Amino acid sequence: MLVFMSIRAVPLALLLAACATPPAEDTAKLAAEARKVAAGMQSSLAAKLLGELQAKGPEAAIGVCTTLAPEVAARISREQGWRVTRVSLRTRNPVLGSPDAWEQSVLADFDARAARGDKPDAIEHAEVVREPQGRYFRYMKALPVAPLCVSCHGGPESIPPGVKARLAADYPHDRATGYRPGELRGAISIKRPLD
């Protein structure tokens, strides 16, 4: 009888161990998928933003980040079944860009890595986390400030008066200014349920 119980316990123990975290190769595969999604979102927004800047100037380009970025993130989220968003420790729109506790920790680590000399466009983080609602694969990709970003996110000398006025009207709680090219503005964050 004892032999029978221990034999039955072994498959259960193996099953529980297998559910704890995905194998490293699965995590690497999830990271590769997330990296593609983040890169696609970033390049799509950058192309649209550059086009709008060239066609209508920086005031009109604010609309790309105001409406298009959340729309693209929502579309990707619906298509993938994941939560895809942009977050920052210094938000422009606190309703859409405020990081959760895990994202805050990763963003602080990104800042430390950049301060140590890591290339901003190579900074990313991926892991499987357990939360009260279940297990999730979480991924973040740093968003460095490009030269074209300073007309809306730079210091007071970089932001044209019309842009300042529009930002003040549209984003009364804006904390997303004072950046220089190459600094980290925030990150694309991806959260994928595993259970």
Q: What is the pLDDT of residues 69-117, one digit of tens each?
A: 889 899 999 998 899 999 999 999 988 889 999 999 999 999 999 999 9
Helix (H, G, I), strand (E, B) or coil at 127: strand
Q: What is the model's pLDDT at position 86?
A: 95
Percent of the chain at pLDDT > 70 equals 87
Q: What is the model's pLDDT at position 15?
A: 40
CA distances from 54 to 10, 60, 63, 128, 169 (A): 65, 10, 14, 41, 23
Q: What is the model's pLDDT at position 30?
A: 95
Given a cut of 70, the residues of the chain with pLDDT beneath it are 1-25
CB 139 within 8 A of CB 30: yes
How far apart are alpha carbons 1 and 17 in whole angstroms?
25
- One-letter amino acid at 37 equals V
Q: What is the model's pLDDT at position 24?
A: 62
**CA 141, 128, 91 angle in degrees (round to 5)?**
40
End-to-end CA distance of the chain: 34
Q: What is the model's pLDDT at position 33?
A: 95
